[in-house]
Amino acid sequence: MLGLGTLRRVVKEVRSDVAAARDRDPAARGISSLEILGSWAGVQALLAHRVAHALHAADVPLAPHAIAYLSRGVTGIEIHPGAVIGDEFFIDHGSGVVIGETAEIGDYVTLYQGVTLGGTGFQRGKRHPTVGDNVTIGSGAKLLGPITVGHGARVGANTVIVEDVPARSTVVGNPGHPVKVEGRKVEGPDADWIHLPDPVADAIKALSERIAELEARLAELAGGERPDPGVRELRPKRGRSSAGG
Ligand SMILES: CC(C)(COP(=O)(O)OP(=O)(O)OC[C@H]1O[C@@H](n2cnc3c(N)ncnc32)[C@H](O)[C@@H]1OP(=O)(O)O)[C@@H](O)C(=O)NCCC(=O)NCCS
């Protein structure tokens, strides 16, 4: 039920969210709480979510979704009222952030613009990520499915993650892979993530070769000359990878 206790909790959460913005956004240093509340979209979205979530938890109809809808219109940040968000959460810049219904976010988490904590399809039940404490998720990162992001992990900008992320690791790329664990670079024979095998190119190459062989056999059977297969050998990769390798 809604009561004074719920109101007190929401006010306390909003205070610590404003403090988080001041701590983590250099642009918010020395700015009054009122100004942060009035002009930081991430803080406004969170304020709206704190209220919508409290109403959702109290089974109040319509209002939670109406608040989330209005908040999305104003801030460009979409947070489902059912999402569970811990203390001192901060969304920097904000636009394009989507947080799904069954997402769970720990304490001291920072998200940048364009982050999605979404599902992978049309499943029901728990289908969004669980994010541990002290996690930073870079702009444009997509975290999909009921995966777990361990405490203290850092997810690079534009990373796509569909599997669990180890605690205290740095994960980058698509698909996301750890480049650092416990502050140390991942090394060893499996660490060359740039020059990975390309199964699609391999399959196309094998098909091209089979078609060329079949055309040659057909031409022989018809008594003609072997045609120019018209298929060029795929050249071996040369020079630097466009991905930076
Ligand atoms: C991942 C991140 C948090 C840095 O974490 P870190 O633990 O300090 O990692 P490092 O900077 O040491 O980078 C480790 C490796 O990952 C690479 N890397 C870092 N971020 C990357 C990214 N987003 N995509 C691909 N590779 C990335 C680095 O080049 C480095 O590669 P190397 O080992 O070959 O030199 C940071 O790069 C990042 O993406 N932050 C998001 C910031 C953001 O979204 N800002 C928006 C402001 S508007």
| Tens-place pLDDT, residues 132-166 | 999 999 999 999 999 999 999 999 999 999 999 99
Asked whether 168 lines ligand 1 (CB < 6 A), one says: no
Which pLDDT does position 7 carry in this prediction?
Answer: 82
Look at ligand 1, atom 27, and give the residue with the nearest C-alpha.
172
Instruction: Please count the structural domains in the chain.
Output: 3
| 37 within some domain | yes
Which pLDDT does position 201 carry in this prediction?
Answer: 82
Which pLDDT does position 81 carry in this prediction?
Answer: 98
> Using CA atoms, how far apart are residues 42 and 37, in angstroms rounded to an integer?
9
> Using CA atoms, how far apart are residues 151 and 133, in angstroms rounded to an integer?
5
| 89 within some domain | no
Which pLDDT does position 241 carry in this prediction?
Answer: 47
Asked whether 12 lines ligand 1 (CB < 6 A), one says: no
Q: Do 190 and 110 sit in the same domain of this protein?
A: yes
* Segments forming the whole domain that contains residue 226: 198-245
| 95 within some domain | no
Which pLDDT does position 242 carry in this prediction?
Answer: 45
Tell me the average confidence (pLDDT) per consecutive run of 10 residues in the chain, 245 residues long: 79 88 90 91 95 95 97 97 96 95 97 96 92 98 97 97 95 93 76 64 91 90 71 57 42
Q: Do 104 and 190 sit in the same domain of this protein?
A: yes
Look at ligand 1, atom 31, and give the residue with the nearest C-alpha.
179
For residue 117, how far is its CA from the centre of ligand 1 (angstroms)? 19
Q: Do 211 and 223 sit in the same domain of this protein?
A: yes
| 113 within some domain | yes
Q: Do 221 and 151 sit in the same domain of this protein?
A: no
Q: Do 187 and 224 sit in the same domain of this protein?
A: no
Q: Do 155 and 183 sit in the same domain of this protein?
A: yes
| 229 within some domain | yes
Which pLDDT does position 243 carry in this prediction?
Answer: 42
| 106 within some domain | yes
Which pLDDT does position 244 carry in this prediction?
Answer: 40
Look at ligand 1, atom 22, and give the residue with the nearest C-alpha.
156
| Percent of residues, the chain, with pLDDT higher than 70 | 87
Which pLDDT does position 245 carry in this prediction?
Answer: 35
Q: Do 38 and 78 sit in the same domain of this protein?
A: yes
| 94 within some domain | no
Q: Do 170 and 219 sit in the same domain of this protein?
A: no
Q: Do 224 and 187 sit in the same domain of this protein?
A: no
Look at ligand 1, atom 15, and give the residue with the nearest C-alpha.
179
Asked whether 157 lines ligand 1 (CB < 6 A), one says: yes
